[in-house]
Amino acid sequence: MGRVFFAMGMSLDGYVEDADGSFDFAVPDDEVHRIANEQARDAAVFVFGRRMYELMESYWPAAAAAPDELSEVAAEFARVYVQTPRVVVSDSLGEVPDGVRLVRRADAAAEVARLAREHEGHIEVGGPTLAAALFDLIDEFRMWVNPVAVGGGKPYFPAGGEQLRLRPLEQRAFASGTLYLRYERVR
């Protein structure tokens, strides 16, 4: 059975987006990107909310088609991205390209649970709004904590939930000051 992961960059004060909706503060350097590439290679499926999907899909397939224009680490991620099955959860999209499956929001939890049952690898959830909607299904939280405080915006963890007990699994520090923290939900 697969496990459901939520991995995302965040500010030191806990936000994945600043008050203007930007997450430019979380763009990884090559050292951090290499570790993210390793994790992406291990994903059985990427499941994105619409906004994260549009951001990823607007760049990575075209980048994969022109790898000579990318750094080695970015070209590697582009290859992994287009080779990994992708699911987008959206009620507003009407169609998606080959390699992507569209799931409506009302069916998202059932679909992610089915994917976890059918795959041995991990199911990687992308996007904080989707992660909040699927919160009870998430087995592991992976945080790329960037050395910046943004003062507000969209939090990594949804507000108003019950206490969440976590067990630390891994931590790494990078030359850029980014910290990688990996926690497992205690069930």
- What does each C-alpha distance from 109 to 4, 73, 128, 142, 175 come to in angstroms? 11, 33, 15, 20, 38
Q: Nearest-CA neighbor of 21 among 133, 127, 100?
A: 127
Cβ contact 171:180 at 8 Å: yes
Average pLDDT over residues 73-95: 96
Beta strand extents in the chain (DSSP E only): 3-11, 15-17, 43-49, 86-89, 100-103, 122-126, 140-146, 154-155, 166-173, 179-185
* Single pTM value for the model: 0.93
Q: Which domains does the chain have, with CATH numbers?
A: 3-185 (3.40.430.10)
Quickly state the pLDDT bin for 160 (edges 50, 70, 90): confident
Percent of the chain with pLDDT over 90: 94
Tell me the mean pLDDT in the region 168-173.
Answer: 97
Q: What is the mean pLDDT of residues 155-160?
A: 91
CA–CA distance, 113 with 89 (Å, rounded to integer) = 14
